[in-house]
Structure 1
Amino acid sequence: MKVKRYVVNALPEALPMIRNELGVDAIILNTKEIRVGGFLGMFGKKKTEVIAAIEAGSKSAPTPKSPPRPQPAKQPTVSPSMMASIGAMSSTAVAEQQTMKEKQLIQEATVQFAPDVTEAVRVSPAAAYEVLTGVQQQQQQSSADNRKPRMTEEELITEIRDMKQWIVRMSKQQKLETRPEALQALQDRLHEQEVSQKLIDQLIEEIEGRLEVSDLSNPTTTVDRSTVWLIAEQILLDWLKDFEASVIGRDTHVIHFVGPTGVGKTTSIAKLAAEQTLKLGRKVGFITSDTYRIAAVDQLRTYATILNVPLEVVFSPSEVSRAFRQLEDRELIFMDTAGRNFRNELYVSEVNSLLQTDRRSETFLVLSLTGKYADMSSVAENFAKYGIDRVLYTKQDETNACGAILNLALEQGLRPTYIAYGQTVPDDITTFKVASYVSQLLGASQ
């Protein structure tokens, strides 16, 4: 293959040069704009570099002719009239050669980029050149687009899922705008109680299904608030019917208390111990492993002194067996554990190593209703891995929101056992009653 480089002002100038030197079968391999001359890369003139080539042995390639042998030239005698005729013939030849160049440019553009340049060719060679340049740029842009990475199947699925979720949200929003005032009021109440949106939607849907209204989407439809509250109460009672708490059984020997720092584990132990000792007459004992918090042992020791019950302190899992042997004559043993950051599963497993796992033991997870639901859920989820499903809620008197109890019960299966609502020992604690809780959750209908 014969390859040749041309540097011209514009592409049309290179076409006749290529045709004359390489033949009509030559092809243009590449064109690009370059700068020639200048100083330190600046002030250079714009030029076009054209790379053309033709296969070796092509029939259209011009065959170099051997120069004729020089003959002694005769000095003809030319008259003035002949000189005028020769001048006229030269001008005609130059015009014909220019016309041939234009035709060649048109032919090159038409063959290479037809039919895109056909219309431009009818106008002028300059128009053909403009179209030729435009088509080249378009092809380069198309090639660059083809090199761009296409959307993967996973990205396409994600985009479709996002679009579906957006449509669902818009549909829900439209439905909320046309919802009767009573249902909207119920939803606002549950939001105030920090009930999860999933449970709110489920409850509203069941209420709408039970209401004998032909078209709830009609803004003019009126629904009685007391009716809505009554239906909601019935549904919630049905949801929580299996979560009614039972008192501490007579056959229970050990109750462990676990939970984050500052939720009221020690005070809750004192309340329950006082109930079992003073009201039920059971022999109670205390064990504590809360040696991290300052004065934690002293606090429980004070309660033990007041109730006249023994107290054992353990500093490691190996001492737990010794403590139980010391209290083997006790009917019921309450074991206090150190509060830690139980969103960390390592601390959860550490506390779990202290717990007795026989059939006569129970473990209460202690949570404060003043905490954020997200944190409570995270703690509960870590303890649920070890089979802990009973919860004692504290500080009900310090908050107006109690929706977390419903959320943890229905979403994670945690059973409420006791509700503590003050600091007075042993009075400010009661067993969990479903009816009382639902009444508090819904509040008054008016």
Structure 2
Amino acid sequence: MQIKKFYGDNIQEVMNTIKKELGDKAVILHTKKVKKGKLFGIIKKEQIEVLAALENETSNDYAIKPKANIQIEEHYEPKQHFAKDDITSLKKEINELKSYLRTISNKVTINFDDETNIKEELKDVYNKLRSKGVSSHFIESMLSEIDISDNKNTSLESKIEKYVINKFSSYTHKFQNKINIFIGPTGVGKTTTLAKLASESVLINDKKIAFLTLDTYRIGAVDQLKVYAEILNCPIEVVYDIQDIKVSLERLKNRDLIFVDTAGRSHKNKRQMQELKDMLNEINNKDIYLVINANWNIDDIKDIIKEYSFVEDYKIIVTKLDETSRFGIILDILSVTNKSIAYTTFGQNVPDDIEHFDISKYINELLKG
């Protein structure tokens, strides 16, 4: 009995090859989908794998004598002799496999008749996303989950847009808790972002707000927030000791919203991260916003996310989009954090230069030109 694996883009192609090499009497032992090689140098290509066999009619027994160049699955250990019942059982199983093969042949959708067009569209989309800062890892992972075989009726970009919208949920732009805390490394723009959202709450939503700051390390940080408090005609509490947080919050209990500014902390400084953890434990019923700079690379973002892993529930604000043209990093941020992006900022103007993050609007903009 000869046994051999055959590969092709679809069932019909594989069956034609089997018939050509082994003839009409070949039987199918196994079939499955596999990813083999790379598709246009970008992503592994899904193919159909079929394990076929041909009985040697001139043999008096059923000994399997494979040729040296025929590959056999390592786990396949055929017996030297089969009992009559075994042969009947094997034939029954083969017939069942044939029936199954006919069933799935109608379900296989991969068709590369128009391979040239698919290749060019893949390259164009891949290069476009890479040029805008999306990592190759994310692109390859995404394309492996999208049916890219037939783009005649639906373009690849439309499929990507649908995939991203379905994968990443949009944040409901609404403060769910009274206390809103802004955390993140030094220099990401926490105070300015906080002031923008506070101003929107007062000027547009007519809320009574208050500021509470724990950023007493940075020179001028308290004075900066006091200026915003004066402009918005709202109280501000400056906390120098974690133990005083609850007292300050009690004094602000009649306000609709409280915006809490924290000191920028190096995610590599264990002591500072422990201080932040202790502070967060002192406050109940809070929303937390992790502020991330759009100019960071994905490896730095992964390090930061790891160090902030003690914060279980938070939303993300991506700042300084005006300082980069590679805003595709947002897709990687969504992927590695598995959190929602609430806002993006693109300038220093208060209360302007901030907007609610809309995943549909974002992916549409990303795929342009």
Give the TM-score taking structure 2 as reference length.
0.66
- Find 1:197's aligned residue among 128, 133, 136: 136
| Residue 227 to residue 288, structure 1, CA distance change in 2 (3 Å) | same
User: Radius of gyration: which is bigger?
Assistant: 1
CA distance in structure 2 between the partners assigned to 1:356 and 1:286 by the alignment:
19
- Find 2:228's aligned residue among 303, 320, 334: 303
CA distance in structure 1 between the partners assigned to 2:290 and 2:361 by the alignment:
21
* CA contact 1:389–1:413 (8 Å) conserved in 2: no
Q: Which residue of 2 aligns with 1:437?
A: 362
CA distance in structure 2 between the partners assigned to 1:247 and 1:238 by the alignment:
18
> Alpha-carbon deviation of 1:343?
3.5
CA distance in structure 2 between the partners assigned to 1:182 and 1:322 by the alignment:
61
Q: Which residue of 2 aligns with 1:83?
A: none
User: Aligned ranges for residues 128-139 of structure 1 at < 5 Å?
Assistant: none
Give the letter for the 1:385 counterpart. F
Kindly indicate which of the two structures has a greater share of residues assigned to helix.
1
CA distance in structure 2 between the partners assigned to 1:204 and 1:372 by the alignment:
22
* CA contact 2:321–2:344 (8 Å) conserved in 1: yes
Give the letter for the 1:201 counterpart. E
Aligned residues: 263
* CA contact 1:364–1:388 (8 Å) conserved in 2: no
Q: Residues 337-396 of structure 1: CA distance to partner in whole angstroms, max 9, x if unpaired?
A: 000211444422211211256663111001110122221221122213321431111111
| Residue 345 to residue 401, structure 1, CA distance change in 2 (3 Å) | farther
Give the letter for the 1:338 counterpart. A
CA distance in structure 2 between the partners assigned to 1:329 and 1:254 by the alignment:
12
* DSSP-derived class of the 1:354 partner: helix
> Alpha-carbon deviation of 1:331?
1.4
CA distance in structure 1 between the partners assigned to 2:267 and 2:179 by the alignment:
22
Q: Residues 3-25 of structure 1: CA distance to partner in whole angstroms, max 9, x if unpaired?
A: xxxxxxxxxxxxxxxxxxxxxxx
CA distance in structure 2 between the partners assigned to 1:432 and 1:421 by the alignment:
12
User: Aligned ranges for residues 40-439 of structure 1 at < 5 Å?
Assistant: 171-172=37-38, 175-176=41-42, 180-207=119-146, 209-212=147-150, 227-240=155-168, 242=169, 244-249=170-175, 251-355=176-280, 360-439=285-364
CA distance in structure 1 between the partners assigned to 2:232 and 2:366 by the alignment:
35
* CA contact 1:183–1:204 (8 Å) conserved in 2: no
CA distance in structure 2 between the partners assigned to 1:254 and 1:367 by the alignment:
20
Which consecutive unaligned segments of at least 5 residues does structure 2 have? Answer: 1-35, 44-115
> Alpha-carbon deviation of 1:270?
0.7
CA distance in structure 1 between the partners assigned to 2:319 and 2:181 by the alignment:
16
CA distance in structure 2 between the partners assigned to 1:175 and 1:368 by the alignment:
32
Percent identity, please.
33
CA distance in structure 2 between the partners assigned to 1:364 and 1:401 by the alignment:
22
> Alpha-carbon deviation of 1:404?
2.5
Q: Residues 104-155 of structure 1: CA distance to partner in whole angstroms, max 9, x if unpaired?
A: xxxxxxxxxxxxxxxxxxxxxxxxxxxxxxxxxxxxxxxxxxxxxxxxxxxx
Give the letter for the 2:333 counterpart. L
* DSSP-derived class of the 2:38 partner: helix
* DSSP-derived class of the 1:355 partner: helix
* CA contact 2:277–2:310 (8 Å) conserved in 1: no
CA distance in structure 1 between the partners assigned to 2:215 and 2:149 by the alignment:
53
CA distance in structure 2 between the partners assigned to 1:261 and 1:388 by the alignment:
21
Q: Residues 239-260 of structure 1: CA distance to partner in whole angstroms, max 9, x if unpaired?
A: 22x2x111233x5110000011
Give the letter for the 2:243 counterpart. S
| Residue 347 to residue 324, structure 1, CA distance change in 2 (3 Å) | same
Kindly indicate which of the two structures has a greater share of residues assigned to strand.
2
| Residue 356 to residue 326, structure 1, CA distance change in 2 (3 Å) | farther
Give the letter for the 1:172 counterpart. K
> Alpha-carbon deviation of 1:304?
0.7
> Alpha-carbon deviation of 1:193?
2.5
CA distance in structure 1 between the partners assigned to 2:258 and 2:278 by the alignment:
17
* CA contact 1:343–1:375 (8 Å) conserved in 2: no
* CA contact 1:373–1:404 (8 Å) conserved in 2: yes
**What's the RMSD between the two structures over aligned residues?**
2.6
* DSSP-derived class of the 1:172 partner: strand
| Residue 234 to residue 174, structure 1, CA distance change in 2 (3 Å) | closer
Q: Residues 271-329 of structure 1: CA distance to partner in whole angstroms, max 9, x if unpaired?
A: 10011111111110001111111101111111111111111111121111121122122
Give the letter for the 2:167 counterpart. W
CA distance in structure 2 between the partners assigned to 1:171 and 1:247 by the alignment:
44
